[in-house]
Structure 1
Amino acid sequence: MARDYYEVLGVSRNASADEIQQAFRKLARRHHPDINRDPAAEERFKEINEAYQVLSDPKTRARYDRFGPDFRQIPEDYDERVAAGAGFGGGRGGRVRWSTGGAPGGGGARVWTGGEGFEGAGINIEDLFSGMFGGRGAPGPMPGADQEAELRLTVEEAHRGGKRRVPLGGPDHPRTYEVNIPPGVVDGQRVRLAGQGGQGTGDGPAGDLYLRVKILPHKRYRLSGRDIHVDLPVAPWEAALGATVPLTTPSGTAKVTVPPGSSSGRQLRLRGEGMPNPKGTPGDLYAHIRIVVPPSPTPREKELLEELAAVSTFDPRRH
């Protein structure tokens, strides 16, 4: 006997469409054969996928709720046939009552147990419809499930976008995808590969593959949405007197003007120099001044610093 589809997904029979989808995504990620190396994971994944395909479609779910695992063997115009008696011995009316036992051959076959116009009870529905479906019946076309995988990018790769070859799958199912990454993708954004998900059954179309972007930590750049934060090292005299200094950004080298009298922690904003946004306003880049002193001053530098210390009345602890 096939497992109950609600049991497979771990949801109740009155679960909402959102609850079914959430349960499927959680289980699919856990049991996907590219992630789970358990030999039984692939069969478990197929079972999860089949349950989702049935329960995610309202019409298919309604038929499953009504007829159970054998719903594919029941013709679409079943109610009309029962009402008209067409193909069932000429009887009309009657109510359908199903039993999971007592059928010829035993097991869980669906059995007609009542209804006006039928000669005798206990008609095996599988036998009744075998001529229509050529045996046990063939399920109709069903679309494949959407799938999801992680796409890891550096800040620079996410900033510039472009084409990239992405290998996915384990050693038993290696596959490489040509992915067109939009410039300025952010952490958590999904890139859709149409028709690259789970295979459909029959003539059903394949599902889609979604690559969820994961931007890797960077030694220089810190992201906040589309804004980029970066430290700007400056010498004490550049901070005191002001200067124009170079700053490396994901898009190249920019010139930054340091105002005179700048202290560590001062934030300089470069408008529009953050992550691009093809559909809106790009982010900004924020340069945080960090004053760096010479680790080993030359004799002349030391002499000048001592002279400055002698003549200056500045006390940083009072500011």
Structure 2
Amino acid sequence: MEFRDYYKILNVPRSASPEEIRSSFRKLARQYHPDVAKDKKKDEEKFRQINEAYEVLGDPEKRKRYDQLGAAWQEGQEFQPPPQWRSGTRWTQTPEDFGFHVGGTGFSDFFEAFFADGGSLGSLFGHHRPSRMGMPRAGADVEADLAITLEEALHGTSKALLLRRQQSGKPGGRTQTYHVSIPAGVREGQRIRMAGQGQPAPAGGRPGDLFLRIRYAKHPYFRVEGSDLLYELELPPWSAALGTQADIPALGGKARLRIPPGSSSGQKFRLAGLGMPRKEGGRGDLYVTLTIRMPKSPTPEERALWEKLAQVSPPERSKGG
């Protein structure tokens, strides 16, 4: 399989801090997000790579495991993990080792082999179903993650999957394309069943099913918490002190938020009904958390104004007095 250099994809050094990794992801994800893609096919592939890289490097445990794979591999080489990796709890079989591969899920073979939920690709494959009395044993079910954007989850979409099955005595196997309809309002973790598209059955039994487990792709603006979306709004101190109107990104558009005078860092504002679909119907909310962005290097004129403000403002008083 091909090694994925996640640091190169996010354009950060291996020594990058979590804040640097997050900042680079947001910048790149905004540039290549499908909603603003100029070259749709090329930019969407780039967006998938950026998401996959952040899925690993943005998670401390996954990043630690990734760093154990070594830094000497070049893109395009046939990748074999270092010996110490094999002695761990994870293993390194590729999808082809199972004679079954699902393409078009939004994740590379490299990610699925080492970082997919559940510990390894092997754990995504179910067991053969027990046969009823006198009936052939059914084929094994297969489960794989399918990455979609928050916008696709809200409005619904269609995904083209490539299913490659190894056939006995035939090199390369058989590849088929299936278009899967993702319903509007699908939730993370929800499974979509493709009947009869799992592993073939031994002795003439019916094949297993393929279950696609929905995963939300990381978003450049929002974090998902249940059915709610969380957004951080940075404001300069004068805007927080005087009050302002702010345009807030929302799925499929923008929302206008009034920031009252005297707002403080950490203050939350709720925009009802602009979150993700709820299981019981309707949509969750969008919560905006205010962060005051102080100027790092004020100009002489700005410094003079801050000093003037300090002179005319009342002195700070402790809580006790």
What TM-score, normalized by structure 1, do the two folds share? Answer: 0.52
- Could you tell me how far apart the structure 2 residues matched to 1:295 and 1:159 are? 39
Q: 1:183–1:278: 8 Å Cα contact kept in structure 2?
A: no
- The match for 1:148 among 140, 143, 151 is 143
Relative contact order, higher structure (CA 8 A, sep 6+): 2
Question: Equivalent residue for 1:244?
Answer: 245
- 1:315 corresponds to 2:310: no
- Could you tell me how far apart the structure 1 residues matched to 2:260 and 2:201 are? 63
**What is the RMSD of the two structures over their aligned residues, measured on CA atoms?**
3.8
> 1:282 and 1:300, CA in 2 relative to 1: closer, same or farther beyond 3 A?
same
User: What secondary structure does 1:151 align onto?
Assistant: strand
- Could you tell me how far apart the structure 1 residues matched to 2:276 and 2:241 are? 31
> 1:176 and 1:310, CA in 2 relative to 1: closer, same or farther beyond 3 A?
farther
- Could you tell me how far apart the structure 1 residues matched to 2:165 and 2:260 are? 54
What is the identity, as a one-letter code, of the residue corresponding to 1:272? G
- Could you tell me how far apart the structure 1 residues matched to 2:268 and 2:137 are? 56
- Could you tell me how far apart the structure 2 residues matched to 1:185 and 1:238 are? 38
Residues 40-82 of structure 1 show CA distances to partners (whole Å, capped at 9, x for unaligned) of xxxxx9xx98x833xx34x42xxxxxxxxxxx5xxxxxxxxxx
- 1:183 corresponds to 2:187: no
User: Aligned runs of 1:52-131 on 2, under 5 Å?
Assistant: 52-53=128-129, 56-57=130-131, 59-60=132-133
Residue-pair matches, total: 202
What is the identity, as a one-letter code, of the residue corresponding to 2:254? T
State the shift of 1:142 in Å: 5.5
The unaligned stretches of length 5 or more in structure 2 are 1-89, 100-121, 167-171
Q: 1:155–1:221: 8 Å Cα contact kept in structure 2?
A: no
Question: Equivalent residue for 1:264?
Answer: 265
Q: 1:169–1:175: 8 Å Cα contact kept in structure 2?
A: yes
State the shift of 1:233 in Å: 0.9
The unaligned stretches of length 5 or more in structure 1 are 1-29, 40-44, 61-71, 73-139
Flag the structure with larger Rg. Answer: 1
What is the identity, as a one-letter code, of the residue corresponding to 2:237? P
- Could you tell me how far apart the structure 2 residues matched to 1:240 and 1:256 are? 15
Question: Equivalent residue for 2:283?
Answer: 282
State the shift of 1:220 in Å: 3.3
Question: Equivalent residue for 1:27?
Answer: none
- Could you tell me how far apart the structure 2 residues matched to 1:297 and 1:161 are? 47
> 1:292 and 1:147, CA in 2 relative to 1: closer, same or farther beyond 3 A?
same
Q: 1:34–1:169: 8 Å Cα contact kept in structure 2?
A: no
Greater percentage in strand: 2
State the shift of 1:279 in Å: 5.2
> 1:192 and 1:289, CA in 2 relative to 1: closer, same or farther beyond 3 A?
same
> 1:225 and 1:269, CA in 2 relative to 1: closer, same or farther beyond 3 A?
same
What TM-score, normalized by structure 2, do the two folds share? Answer: 0.52
> 1:235 and 1:317, CA in 2 relative to 1: closer, same or farther beyond 3 A?
farther
- Could you tell me how far apart the structure 1 residues matched to 2:303 and 2:164 are? 60
- Could you tell me how far apart the structure 2 residues matched to 1:142 and 1:284 are? 47
Q: 2:248–2:255: 8 Å Cα contact kept in structure 1?
A: yes
Question: Equivalent residue for 1:253?
Answer: 254
- Could you tell me how far apart the structure 2 residues matched to 1:177 and 1:279 are? 30
> 1:243 and 1:178, CA in 2 relative to 1: closer, same or farther beyond 3 A?
same
Identity, % of aligned positions: 40
Q: 1:160–1:251: 8 Å Cα contact kept in structure 2?
A: no
User: What secondary structure does 2:153 align onto?
Assistant: helix
